[in-house]
Structure 1
Amino acid sequence: MSAPADAKPPSKLEHTASWYAASANAAPARPALSADVSCDVCVVGAGFTGLSSALHLAEKGLKVIVLEAARVGYGASGRNGGQIVNSYSRDIDVIESKYGQTTGRALGDMAFEGNRIIRERIATYGIECDLRDGNLFAACNAKQLEALRHHQTLWQRYGNDSLELLGGDAYQREVGSNRYTGVLIDHSGGHLHPLNLALGQAAALESRGGVIYEQSPVVTLEHGAPVTVKTADGTVRADRVVMAGNAYLHGVMPELERKSMPCGTQIITTEPLGDELARRLLPNGMAVEDCNYLLDYYRLTRDNRLLYGGGVNYGSEGPADIEAVIRPKMLKTFPQLKEVKVDYAWSGNFLMTLNRLPQFGVINDNVYYAQGYSGHGVTCTHLAGRLISEVMTGRDDRFDAFAGLPHQPFPGGRMLRVPLSALGAWYYEARDRLGI
């Protein structure tokens, strides 16, 4: 079960008991910080945001130290569905309508860049992470299928020409389920083993001279020049800091937590299905997410397990019996798996914002942050790392396009944000069921 958002992390944290952890590439256990050190940039958090930022900065010749409270990829970066999904949790047309054409164009021009960065990293550093091409969005009713037509047109306007819409029964070329009315395939997307991607980028950072300390949760951050970052047994003094803890900051910077909310999601992974059954479920091995507000997502692993996730727990507390929650969702999609055993079940937290768009910014001119990807973080975290490296080395226009987005606190404050968000989710879930 995931820890409550306000809980302090225990003294030592290991990877959750997921299929990812069980199948992870070999990686060293890095020591905890136990000295006073200095650097150009201190990055707090060794997930995708932190590792992407650190690697981009190290490639530019800066001395980088990463502090991780647990293990590399411990949080959402090592637990998610592993899908390379383009754009953001709110798509470009919503950004255009709410924040204007200039902001929409700026973010639209970057909407597919995170995907490219991931693939560049894998190719440049030879990261073994089970990369496969193709993901698709599945419509559960006619209204959602029409929205996918609009989605295709929108993305094509911003340069994604790798889209294919399949209506009627044609979608069963890709998904062996009777649940849908059509799908939109993004051939430029894909899926991978996210924990191995994180571990590979950590090794790449170290090859560039970066240093990672694990089991080193930050106790306090003191603003100034330099910034002083303290752990239980050591101190880092840095010219600049990147806060990349997302849903796992644990109260270190309350000013970053007031306008966001940790949320839990759950995943199960079946026993190996065998080649024949796996091909019947997903004939071409693409990753799938449906178009519901509380969406389901799934894909095949390299050993032909079905990895299936879905649902949201607002406030980050997960259910005691994850399989009991997710298995019925899986069987609704694939009733032919009724007798199949589940080998792994786990939960993890992601960070949600009220407008479902990421929060970028800088505090006191030398503490940078990027967080709140709202369930759409695999690609955007990698973009964030590049933009942080840009703004630190003289180019600020692209970072500022995100930093200029307005963010408001959740209605009701910390006390009422969970029940009010759950009530809103119930409303949209009811609309999905009714197809309205």
Structure 2
Amino acid sequence: MRSRSVRPSAVPTKTDRPVETAPTYWLRGTGDGDGQPPTALPGRVGVLVVGGGLMGVASAYWLARRGLDVLVCEARRLGYGASGRNIGVVLPAPRPTEDCALLDEVLHEERVDAGYQEAGHLTLASSAQVWDRVRAEVARRPAGAAPLHALTRPECEDLLGMRINRRFAGGRWATDGRGVDPVRLVDGLGRAAREHGAAVATGTRVRTVAPVRGGGRLAADTSRGRVIADAVVLACHLDIGRFVPSLAGALTPARGQVLATAPTRPMFRFGMAVDWGSVYWRQAADGTILLGGGRQVDPDREQSPRALVNPRIQRHLDGFLPDAFPDLPPLRTSQRWAGVMDCTPDGRPVVGRVTGQADRWVIGGFGGHGIPPALATARALAEAVATGTDPELLAPFAPDRFHPSDQP
């Protein structure tokens, strides 16, 4: 069946049926990626990484830095899936995997121009109850963590330089919030991985992975030929469940809606959100405002693995900024899209060795919060693959917490 499409600026009003749209703000005009042609498939590799999103490319980068023979296979272009469909907000946390120092270090060392901005992040509290939670969080902030401040609504207005709807009680100001172009980040890490010896094959879908009879290796059947690997890292989002059936129920989809406005004058110098991310937005360097969220408007329909635009939620997003900021000039939506996040029941990712299979590893389930922990988590996974050990950092993310055994 031929898919329907809509003009990027239009919101269907005759029906609330989800529809397909053009590529995202980050992906438009990028073609097949960073200009590198798909690599010729080798017949044999040390480690095959399935999936060319942020997690797959970051894993390949660290594996290549360890000197392993690595091949990344991606069905589309790098960053085409969830990695290229967010708004590029980076929110560090006082946890070992979510300190952005490693991200800063790698971007500098590898000369990755990812449109990185270190400007802070402001979250508005939509009720007195949320405002109380913000103040409690600030009060218990660990010593040595990046500064976090509870601001009254007038203080938020002073920081932002514009009036805010009086329904907001205050705000949470995090000085370490960042912004990034997620596609340039993935492309840059892909280039760095190649420079360290990895091969990257875009336009190459991995169909199956199966043991080689009597060989102690794995055979991957791809859309461009067969590859034999000593080990496989599955970094393929919800498709992990296709390769590891016992994890299929542990990885569930959550669709997110996003829109982009036509470029306008600078108004938001830093990333912003409401409460714990019910709505979130930032303004890119060219003046485009990227706004996402609103899943609470139609939650049942958003439990979908298809990246379709939900008109009902998009209408909600259209009305959010004018309501929240009464002095905003008129804004025109130029583009709409959706992305699908892979989530787990306990909110923690799934990273580590597949139970009972020494040559298969997984990394996924980050639930829309993948940029801060990507490099640290992928580095620990690369250590595990290279040494056969189980780093302590990965213990909370072990796949066997969902299924004690997972036979081939």
Structure 1 and Structure 2 fold alike (TM over 0.5): yes
Q: 2 CA distance for matches of 1:42 and 1:223? A: 13
User: Bigger CA drift: 123-132 or 196-205?
Assistant: 123-132
Moved more, 227-236 or 74-83: 227-236
In the superposition, relative to structure 1, how do residues 310 and 289 fare at CA in structure 2: closer, same or farther (>3 Å)? same
- Give structure 2 stretches of 5+ with no counterpart: 5-20, 296-301, 404-408
Deviation, 1:153, is 4.0
Contact 2:240/2:362 (<8 A) preserved: no
Secondary structure at 1:188 match in 2 = coil
1:119-268 aligned at under 5 Å gives the runs: 119-133=104-118, 134-157=120-143, 159-175=144-160, 176=162, 177-178=164-165, 179-223=167-211, 225-249=216-240, 251-268=242-259
Cα contact 1:69–1:214 (8 A) shared by 2: yes
* 2:56 counterpart residue number: 50
Q: Match of 1:355, as an amino acid?
A: D
Match of 2:376 among 376, 379, 383: 383
Seen in structure 2, the aligned counterparts of structure 1 residues 149 and 112 have a Cα distance that, compared at 3 Å, is farther
Whether the 8 Å contact between 1:218 and 1:252 is mirrored in structure 2 is no
Quick check: which one's helix share is greater? 1
Counterpart-to-counterpart distance in 1, 2:22 and 2:205: 17
Corresponding residue for 1:334?
Answer: 325
Separation (CA, whole Å) in 1 of partners of 2:186 and 2:231: 23
Cross-structure match for 1:6: none
Closer/same/farther in 2, CA of residues 22 and 174 from structure 1, 3 Å limit: farther
Q: Is the 8 A contact 2:252 2:344 kept in 1?
A: yes
Matched, 1:399 2:390: no
Give 1:31's aligned residue: 38
Deviations 1:118-149 (A, max 9, x none): 21221112212211111232211121122122
Amino acid at match of 1:287: G
Whichever residue aligns with residue 146 of structure 1, its letter is: D
Shift of 1:200: 0.7
Cα distance change, pair 337–120 in 1 and its aligned pair in 2 (3 A):
same
TM-score if structure 2 supplies the norm length? Answer: 0.82
Q: Residues 251, 403 of structure 1: CA spacing in aligned structure 2 closer, same or farther, 3 A cutoff? A: closer
Q: Does 1:298 align with 2:305?
A: no
3-state SS of the aligned residue for 1:46?
A: coil
- Residue 291 of structure 2 contacts residue 317 of structure 2 at CA under 8 Å; is this kept in 1? yes
Q: Distance in 2 between matches of 1:64 and 1:346?
A: 32
Q: Residue in 1 aligned with 2:262?
A: 271
Q: Identify if the C-alpha distance between structure 1 residues 393 and 84 changes in structure 2 by more than 3 Å, giving closer, same or farther.
A: same
Distance 2:399 2:244 in 1: 20
Q: Deviations over 1:83-122 (max 9, x none)?
A: 11123xxxxxxxxxxxxxxxxxxxx641433x22221221
Encode CA deviations 1:67-90: one digit per residue, 9 max, x unaligned: 001100001111112011123xxx
Amino acid across the alignment from 1:341: R
* Runs of at least 5 residues in structure 1 that lack an aligned partner in the other structure: 3-14, 88-107, 409-436
Kept in 2, the 8 Å contact 1:174–1:286? The answer is: no
Aligned: 1:319 with 2:309: yes
For 2:342, the equivalent position in structure 1 comes to 351
User: What is the CA distance between 1:64 and its match in structure 2?
Assistant: 0.8
| Amino acid of the structure 2 residue aligned with 1:304 | G
- Give 1:68's aligned residue: 74
Asked if structure 2 preserves the Cα contact closer than 8 Å seen for 1:51 and 1:201, the reply is yes
Map 1:100-115 → 2, pairs under 5 A:
109-113=95-99, 115=100
Q: Which residue of 2 aligns with 1:103?
A: none
Matches within 5 A, 1:72-91: 72-87=78-93
CA distance in structure 2 between the aligned counterparts of 1:63 and 1:349, rounded to whole angstroms: 31
**One-letter code of the match for 2:291?**
Y
What is the SS of the residue equivalent to 1:184?
A: strand
Match of 1:104 in 2: none
Please give the root-mean-square deviation of Cα atoms over the aligned residues, in Å.
2.6
Query: In structure 1, what is the Cα distance between the partners aligned to 2:123 and 2:218?
Result: 44
Q: 1:24 touches 1:195 (CA, 8 Å); kept in 2?
A: no
Cα drift, residue 298 of structure 1: 0.2
Distance 1:393 1:149, change over 3 A: farther
Letter aligned with residue 275 of structure 2: C
- The whole-number CA distance in structure 2 between the counterparts of 1:387 and 1:43 is 15
1:404 offset after TM fit, Å? Answer: 7.2
- Cα offset, 1:52, TM superposition: 0.8
Q: Relative to 1, partners in 2 of residues 1:136 and 1:323: Cα closer, same or farther, differing over 3 Å?
A: same
Q: Which amino acid aligns with 1:142?
A: A
Match of 1:289 in 2: 273
For 2:399 and 2:38, the matched residues in 1 are separated by: 38
Q: CA deviation at 1:221?
A: 0.8
Paired with 1:154 and 1:391, the residues of 2 have a C-alpha distance of 34
